[in-house]
Structure 1
């Protein structure tokens, strides 16, 4: 009888210890989450890479690969510090940073009525401007931030092209305010020309950088 009681007691102690351990783990996770700094939006990094001169049957959408998502300041820095720098990536490669739920495609429902501001950079300086833009986007520092979908850095052979995508190309006030905000946060020299192109124009001519609508 004493042996049975002792075993029951041991089982009770083990059960109690298990509950305490689970509670402690939950408390630790709660404490960790409470010390993080949430962003206004959750973001996703994507990339697209094609081999020059090689034809493929896959669509552009099939070539877009998700890298990582994040929703806190700490999560962003963990991700960003492990990403390859643009200067080390081969041409042609596209880096995309978009809000969660928005694919970096013209046809996406969040993008189809919008457009993008386009800026061309010499390859020696594009990485710095891309980083400044990423920080402004993640930190929700650009004007009309809710109208912004994401940003793309297109790494090409002779130059790199940075673009900021927005939801509504017909909202002239929001489009021009976004232009001014980009200029301000990137501290763009006056020699840089910004071009705006609606996505429906890109769909019509299947080109990212023709048929300019507005110049900044």
Structure 2
């Protein structure tokens, strides 16, 4: 749970004013169930493990609805990012890499979106993906580790990372929810982070 010390609690005769009532002078915040960290990287044309790690930057951690919107409204929008860039939104304490303990046995739902057809929509799709994560739209919320949007020359890629990769019914439910929440059309494919000969790929 998010810590309540981030809530401004009015005293005396004052009343709660939320961001929905007054976007500037609000005095109460809505806590999220988890804190989330936004990461960014742009390793350049010749990406490898070393320069990727060096380019990965932890931007900010937030745990209220209002702080999320403050972050979203003040970072570069997805359709304006340089080719090769990635945003990663992960639960606090989970690094956006396969080696992290939370991701080690997991996988991801992903979809590639042609850049020329989706550039007008990609920021909305990424926003709805983030909202589904922080708003816990998924039935198996504990399975969600984070989400990534990747900007490439010919396409954008949206990926949702999960904690496990061996629970088909759980994974399929997550994939269907992501597809609906983000307004995605086309096939999403689930792949384990570490594929083996027995690994299965699922599609929604």
TM bucket, shorter chain: 0.7 to 0.9
Matched with 1:148 is 144
Question: In structure 2, what is the Cα distance between the partners aligned to 1:182 and 1:96?
Answer: 16
Matched with 2:28 is 35
Residue 170 in structure 1 maps to residue 166 in structure 2:
yes
1:51 to 38, 44, 47: 44
Alpha carbons 1:61, 1:105 under 8 Å: kept: no
Matched with 1:9 is none
Matched with 1:198 is 192
**Alpha carbons of 1:126 and 1:90: their partners in 2 closer, same or farther (altered >3 Å)?**
same
**Alpha carbons of 1:110 and 1:57: their partners in 2 closer, same or farther (altered >3 Å)?**
closer
Structure 1: gaps spanning 5 or more residues: 1-27, 205-210
Structural RMSD (CA): 2.4
Number of aligned residues: 178
Residue 132 in structure 1 maps to residue 120 in structure 2:
no
Alpha carbons 1:37, 1:74 under 8 Å: kept: yes
Matched with 1:207 is none
Question: In structure 1, what is the Cα distance between the partners aligned to 2:29 and 2:40?
Answer: 27
TM-score (norm 1): 0.75
SS of equivalent residue, structure 2 residue 41: strand
Cα deviation, residue 62, structure 1: 2.9
Matched with 2:21 is none
Cα deviation, residue 56, structure 1: 7.0
**Alpha carbons of 1:57 and 1:198: their partners in 2 closer, same or farther (altered >3 Å)?**
closer
Residue 80 in structure 1 maps to residue 75 in structure 2:
no
Alpha carbons 1:195, 1:212 under 8 Å: kept: no
SS of equivalent residue, structure 2 residue 50: coil
TM-score (norm 2): 0.80
Cα deviation, residue 142, structure 1: 2.1
Cα deviation, residue 104, structure 1: 0.2
Higher helix share: 1
Q: What stretches of structure 1 move > 4 A for 4+ residues in a row?
A: none
Question: In structure 1, what is the Cα distance between the partners aligned to 2:48 and 2:97?
Answer: 19
